[in-house]
Structure 1
Amino acid sequence: MRSSSPSRYDGLPVGMIALVVVAVLLVWFGTLDARHLLRPDEGRYAEISREMFASGDWVTIRYNALKYFEKPPFHMWVTTIAYELFGVGDWQARLCVALSGIVGLAATVLAAARWFGIRAALLAGLALVAAPMWSVAGHFNSLDMTLSGALACVLAFMMLAQHPEATPAARRGWMLACWVAMGVAILTKGLVGIALPGLVLVVYTLTTRDFGLWRRLHLPTGIVVLLAVTVPWFWLISRTNPDFPHFFFIHEHWDRYTSTVHSRKGSVWYFVPLLVAGFLPWLGLTPRMWDTVRERAGTVLGASGKPFQPALMAFLWFIAIFAFFSLSGSKLPGYIVPVFPALAMLAGVALDQINERSWKRQINALLVLAVVGLIAAPVVATLDRPTNPNEVFRAFAVYIGVAFAVLLAGMLLARRLLRTRGLLPSITAFALAMYLTCTIGLMGHEVMGRRASGVDMVPAIQAVLKPDMPLYGVGVLDHTLPFYLGLTLTMVEHPDELEFGVQQEPAKWIPTVDQFLARWRDGQPAMGIMSPDTYDSLAARQIPMYVVARDVRRVVVSNFPPPGTPAPAQPQEPRSAP
């Protein structure tokens, strides 16, 4: 039966809801420029989009001017549009993931409202925005959130289409929107965009024996729509790059899933701690979320055929996707981000039914976490690493302390509001406090991320750069510094993840150090980026190099004296004896 909501939620405060929405959006989009790009993903996709923006080629994806066919272009297209509209920069590079996170959240709220009621939907939205994995991924320039936003729309639109009160026209419209969202998912990260929803549907129909669901998916028209969204780019890139289909569909799909060819290993339990941390504020709701599934919350009885079970669908979406990536031979933390909208939907229904005593236990659990975090902040201030000296950790500890102080204040406010105003204001304060805690902690990482990005080296390098000067990556692929310089690297000796590109266009790289040194000495002004160890090795060989800038991770050198460099000392003539 349809879930009911206790009277304590009657008369939703529209003004408070609007204020919360505005506050969430301001923080969500207002902090996109608070950090510099991190390596490798943020710098990689920002630079690919910059090269697309500079070249005008929206078909053949290139990274450091080399063909880069690991991923489809949708994420880079959106980022390039952001560059076209607002210029090239950090927040523009993150705009795609920020929009994806908000669109996925809005779609989740819309589907939850249709099946579980507006109160449960609003609570689902709060649960998702306060889920650490979702809020962090929405501010990290990688493909995971773009894919997750598209998949959240796939789930939400399919659920909207299956509601028994939907008219035939509405059902067809929502299903076609679902197929479009699947097309976007495929154009974001490949066949996983249709494989994951397909897996969930198979598991759902085998569990419920509701095989009639497949007849309600508008398969013939939907497949046409899907092909219309995806085929043009795949056809264009395959026509101009005959090696693309094998590399993309075999190497980047089958080999990635079935082997450890990309060296992204992990045990079958790899994602468990990430799931715990990513959904931390709502873990105490787990028994109630299971009750939501077991009691078939939201199901409307009396519909023709077997009734659609939205809670079960959300649960199986989580289980199937989590199991799929847990069994994969390739694992990265962001792979499980698509499970969180489904979990948030279940959490929203659970919160809609929670009593005040149980909710107070939730608050008390995060109160303990806040106190532990405050105690840990001084410990962070004592850390010291070769890449991040103690003063960096001391600065980071301040952010950690502020973040957990906000969490503590938020939990105290949630307790007070529970006594004075009831559950909804208390849950809202709880969720917003967790959201702000994650945001402040992520912003604090800038004290480390700025150093890693190399952005502080840019003024010194730009003072030496000359027009058309080559920039070499000597044994190292720097993912962030070229973006901030607006230049591409010519790889030397070690192609790193550009191996496919250098195989396709071998004239665009230098395979040996000796060949590089011959070019380095040819009289053309040039600069190189290398590790400190490589610099020391070349300096020991008395290679002519002038240090332009350096940090603990990289040394940037030129083959000519930078302006203001003292002339080398001349040997003195021996003085004759008196």
Structure 2
Amino acid sequence: MQNDLSKRTLLVLLLLAIVAWFGTLDYRKLIKTDEGRYAEISREMVVSGNWLTPRLNGIKYFEKPSLQYWATAAAFKTFGFHEWTARLWTALTGFLTVLVVWWSGRKLFGESAGLYGAMVLISNLYFVGMGHFNALDMGLTLFTTLALAGFCFAQRDGATQQEQKLGMLLTWAAMAFAVLSKGLIGIVLPGVTLILYSLFARDWAPWRRLSLIPGTLIFLAIAAPWFVAVSMVNPEFPRFFFIQEHFLRYATDEGRREGPVYYFISILLIGMLPWLLVMLDTLWRTAKERSKLDRPALILLIWTIFVFIFFSISRSKLPSYILPIFPALALLMGRHLAALSASELKARTMPVGLIMLAGLFFIAKAADDVRDPISHPLYQQYEYWLYAATAVALFGVIYCLYQAGKDRKLAALIGFSVSGLIASLITLNGHNTLAPTQSSYDIAQKVRPLLTPDVPFYSVRTYDQTLPFYLNRTLTLVDYRDEFDYGLKQQPELAIHSMDDFHLRWTADKQAFALMTPPEHETLRSQGLPMEVVLNDGKRVIVRKADAGR
């Protein structure tokens, strides 16, 4: 294989990538918490016909905007309620992000850089995992990447006046969709990056080419209608969404998602496998050359550093928060790989094989360290999937070393990328072995035949995010608030707020079901509450009224 690709070969690789990326969306069961939560919100939109006010378990839920809910609800309405339709928007936006990196890399740094950047992005462990997990971060990442790409395209040296205008209008539109995906972060991250770039480079020229008036009009036309409409129907929305869910969550421990300042370092290092050493080399060399970088490369570097620090100092942290830096990193890595010789690539690939070999030891140790008797055998099964993934990754390293030794850099990178994608998908799909403890699919299948729509189903001092989706119905919360606190303050009648009231309700019901933890079941049984165990998997207990269904 030569160091360039024919259009036919490129098309074949693209089609194979599409099959691999979308082909296993339905393999895994939805897991808690995010996958179940966001699938259920969209399911309730379809069932209720109310696409304006998001609801979770029948209760108002305003923590995030509605774009992904709409997209998933549309998929449900068109194709039905399935795991793959629940994940379709995430997978689609993830794959489109790869294409945006390909396109923008070609425009900014050359054909090879664009191709290599796309290959890096589609095959690192973290991005593949997030691209197949039903959460909101991939939609945000697509649109922030599109905004970043549009801005760099418009502001690059040699851009025509028309390219500047089109690039900036694309940026404004993308920021609007980013805001609809996850809130103000969609405009804060690009805006602060521009400020930091201007201060560091002492370059204020981009400010004169922002297309501010038409851009603002486009931004408002896309982003504003839902915020205005939902606020008119729910006057309490603006304060909760903009103050509590943005400023208070970022600056305080209110979200109960604390983590140390180094929280994201291990996620970045492990998540970038198998491209870890290429990433470290890219960051080191790009930072060293920062005073010589062209405008797009410097903006990408500042974006990567700023976004990483921004979330690292936040009081609220989740592993998915740093996803928006991965496309920018991939672009910088593609630029760097384009400049490397085959022998230099070989030197940066060989240590990855040693990391993979060391990983075999940690896989075995991690499975043995699981002390929970229910989870332990499941992790032992998952262990074999991880061994298979490691074997594929090691093969990719060996193939890359062989091809690089023959001075076939492109063949080496394609093999390395393909093995990385396959290994990541094996790691991801193997996680389904943990579904009995991470998903309610199995228990829902056992309980669902016993249910009728008019029979109450209570969730006592707990809530399983995936159960309503798999039961195709909502539950009545009992003495449980957590993320439902805001919605229950607006409509307290939608839940039972004390165990005494639950005792009265349960006693009065002719038929009823309830979900609870094993300790809670023991407590209620000792209090003499009449109930019959339908299912007990060691993590969750489902009971019914002793005479239910008779």
- Match among 530, 535, 555 for residue 521 of structure 2: 535
CA distance in 1: counterparts of 2:4 and 2:371, whole angstroms: 54
Structure 1 segment 515-530 matched on structure 2, within 5 A? 515-530=501-516
Aligned residue in 1 for 2:96: 103
CA distance in 1: counterparts of 2:317 and 2:509, whole angstroms: 46
2:304 aligned with 1:310, yes or no? no
Structure 1 segment 8-47 matched on structure 2, within 5 A? 11-47=4-40
C-alpha displacement at 1:273, in angstroms? 1.2
Aligned residue in 2 for 1:366: 352
Deviation string for 1:251-278 (max 9, x for gaps)? 1111011111111111211111111112
2:205 aligned with 1:212, yes or no? yes
CA distance in 1: counterparts of 2:3 and 2:385, whole angstroms: 39
Aligned residue in 2 for 1:223: 216
- Match among 434, 437, 448 for residue 451 of structure 1: 437
2:254 aligned with 1:266, yes or no? no
C-alpha displacement at 1:418, in angstroms? 2.2
What is the root-mean-square deviation in Å for CA atoms of aligned residues?
A: 2.0
| Partner secondary structure for residue 344 of structure 2 | helix
Aligned residue in 2 for 1:343: 329
- Match among 186, 193, 196 for residue 203 of structure 1: 196
CA distance in 2: counterparts of 1:28 and 1:552, whole angstroms: 35
2:57 aligned with 1:64, yes or no? yes
Aligned residue in 2 for 1:279: 272
Preserved CA contact (<8 Å) 1:35 1:450? no
| Partner secondary structure for residue 330 of structure 1 | coil
Residue identity matched to 1:287: D
Relative distance call for 1:374 and 1:14 in structure 2 (3 A) is farther
CA distance in 2: counterparts of 1:426 and 1:11, whole angstroms: 12
Residue identity matched to 1:323: I
Structure 1 segment 71-220 matched on structure 2, within 5 A? 71-220=64-213
CA distance in 2: counterparts of 1:551 and 1:483, whole angstroms: 19
Aligned residue in 2 for 1:331: 317
Aligned residue in 2 for 1:253: 246
C-alpha displacement at 1:149, in angstroms? 1.3
Query: What's the TM-score, normalizing by structure 2?
Result: 0.96
C-alpha displacement at 1:102, in angstroms? 1.2
- Structure 1 runs of 4+ aligned residues shifted over 6 Å read 296-299
Which ranges in structure 2 are unaligned for 5 or more consecutive residues?
none
C-alpha displacement at 1:87, in angstroms? 0.6
C-alpha displacement at 1:406, in angstroms? 0.8
Relative distance call for 1:510 and 1:200 in structure 2 (3 A) is same
Between 1:212-221 and 1:282-291, the stretch displaced more is 282-291
| Partner secondary structure for residue 445 of structure 1 | helix
Deviation string for 1:228-286 (max 9, x for gaps)? 11111011111011111111111111101111111111121111111111223333233
Residue identity matched to 2:481: P
Preserved CA contact (<8 Å) 1:36 1:450? no
CA distance in 1: counterparts of 2:266 and 2:243, whole angstroms: 30
Aligned residue in 2 for 1:572: none
2:468 aligned with 1:482, yes or no? yes
| Partner secondary structure for residue 521 of structure 1 | helix
Preserved CA contact (<8 Å) 1:37 1:480? yes
Preserved CA contact (<8 Å) 2:510 2:547? no
Query: What's the TM-score, normalizing by structure 1?
Result: 0.91
CA distance in 2: counterparts of 1:470 and 1:448, whole angstroms: 29
Residue identity matched to 1:471: F
Rg larger in structure: 1
2:227 aligned with 1:234, yes or no? yes
Which ranges in structure 1 are unaligned for 5 or more consecutive residues?
1-7, 300-307, 566-578
Preserved CA contact (<8 Å) 2:343 2:404? no
Deviation string for 1:183-240 (max 9, x for gaps)? 1111111111100000100001111121120121101111111111111101111101
CA distance in 2: counterparts of 1:192 and 1:543, whole angstroms: 48
CA distance in 1: counterparts of 2:341 and 2:542, whole angstroms: 61
Q: Give me the identity figure in percent.
A: 37
